Amino acid sequence: MRLTVPANYDPQILPELKQWGAFEIYGKLPSDSVGGGRPSFMSTRLSHRALADYIRAVHAAGLEFNYLLNAACFGNEEWSARFHKRLDALLGWLDGLSVETLTITAPYLVQIVKRRWPRFKVKVGIYAQVDTVKRAKFWEDLGADTINLESFSINRDFVKLKSIRAAVKCDLVLIANHFCQPNCPYQIQHQNGHAHASVNNPKFYIDYPIIQCQKNRLTHKELFISAGWIRPEDTARYESIGYTTFKLLERNIPSYALIERAKAYHERHWDGNLADLLLSWGFKKSAPRFERWWWLKSFRFWKMPLGLAFDALAFLKGQGIFYTQEKNPVHIDSRAIPEGFLDHFERQSCLDKDCAQCGYCRRVADKAVTVDPEFLEQILPVYGKLEAQLVGGGAWGLRDRG
């Protein structure tokens, strides 16, 4: 098993991450001329010099670095000379730092890199939505060295996984600890919003899809089970069909949590709260380079109507996003999940099934998932107020017609 692990920019933990199976660290500047898969305000404050120092530390630890150029949309800037000059300068800088790999979502950008900067290995990002044999073969023929499959939707579709693995020779990666729903209706809006919120001088951005997804999970706890994560104990099943590289999330989490995740997957065992391996919030400590003043500045609260700004802060604080929490309010008991949990999905694909009629994830959730009632009592009204303002029009100075 090989692990590709997110950068939280703590160089002290790099040797330990390698000990627990990491071969690659991935990350990026909070904003650049291309953009990426996270808004700048959810990234770590990082200068070019600080990132360069970190990349050198990654190499000194015997690890590779993967720089993310995984924006799903460039806002048509890619048809300007300014975009290409800035891209060329960025790639030249990364080349000077001996960065090994670039993660890319756009076919055009893959072609540019392979023609003008052929030293870089290219990894196709998850936002390319590679979930069929045809898509996988397209990217391999284009020159991709590695493909991140669309793990949100096919991690538990073993027929597709076997077909794709048999069709291409390049390395294939599965995200092991994501929490997204299969075929999420918000996916296109979400990834495009992140792209535009991570370029230089980004526009004001409210992450509405994450607000909706968090609320839906908390009010329908079976969604904690139906998300296509892979338990540490189940990685062997994927290795047996040719998947030996796993990507771990999440960037900008505390060092202890990142080590905990790598160790659990390397050892293929986790007895604790599975939510501790999956969630991007609910930590006792802050990320090592977290600076709240910089985050507030990046989020641009002053561009919000006053009431919306207070509600947004209440959401982030209550949810434990950029704020610490004494305990994770979501508990997924690993021991209550059946040993043969994946057998159900090997027998049938879920993508054409009605979850309400099937009920498998609901039955597992009833035994394994608990959410702190006090937490729900505090946070659900916050979601309600945010939605009322954003959908009803109050945030934009309009009268609610609902």
pLDDT exceeds 80 at position 262: yes
Task: Give the whole-number percent of the chain exceeding pLDDT 90.
Answer: 76
- Please compute the mean of the pLDDT values over residues 62-68 and round it to a whole number: 99
How many angstroms separate the CA atoms of 243 and 239, rounded? 5
Listed in sequence order, the residues at least 6 apart from 163 whose beta carbon sits closer than 8 Å to its beta carbon are 133
Whether the pLDDT of residue 127 is over 90: the answer is: yes
Question: Exposed, middle or buried by CB within 10 Å (0-12, 13-18, 19+), for 345?
Answer: middle
10 Å CB burial of residue 339 (0-12, 13-18, 19+) is exposed
The token duo for 5 is 């692990």
pLDDT in tens, 169-224: 999 999 999 999 988 999 999 999 999 989 987 777 888 999 899 999 999 999 99
Q: What is the mean pLDDT of residues 235-242?
A: 98
Candidate from 125-139, 277-291, 299-313 with smallest mean pLDDT: 299-313
Dihedral pair phi/psi, residue 370, rounded to 5°: -130, 145
Strands (E), 217-278: 245-247
Mean pLDDT for 22-34 is 97
399: left (phi over 0), alpha (psi -120 to 50) or beta: beta
* Mean pLDDT, rounded, for 55-63: 99
Q: How many CB atoms lie within 10 A of CB 310?
A: 13
pLDDT average, residue stretch 217-246 = 97
More confident residue, 297 or 229: 229
Tokens of 296: 């507030």
Q: Would you state the pLDDT for residue 402?
A: 78
- Which domains does the chain carry? 2-396 (3.20.20.70)
- pLDDT for the residue numbered 256: 94
The DSSP bridge pattern shows strands 369-371 and 330-332 to be antiparallel
Residue/partner pairs of 138-141 with CB below 8 Å, 24 or more apart = 138/107, 139/107, 139/110, 139/170, 140/168, 140/169, 140/170
How far, in whole angstroms, is CA 284 from its chain's centroid? 20
- For the segment 292-331, what is each residue's pLDDT rounded down to a tens digit? 666 666 666 556 666 677 777 777 777 776 678 888 999 9
Q: What pLDDT does 323 receive?
A: 74
Calculate ∠ Cα 180-186-187, nearest 5°. 65
pTM of the model: 0.94
- Residue type at 121 in one-letter notation: K
Write the DSSP string, 145-181: SEEE--HHHHTT-HHHHHHHHHH--SEEEEESS--PP
Strand 2-6 vs strand 245-247: parallel, antiparallel, or unpaired?
parallel
In this predicted structure, which of 74-78, 129-133, 296-300 has the lowest mean pLDDT? 296-300
Q: Which tens digits make up the pLDDT trace of 338-397?
A: 999 999 999 988 888 899 999 999 999 999 999 999 999 999 999 998 899 899 998 888
Q: Mean pLDDT across the chain, nearest whole number? A: 92
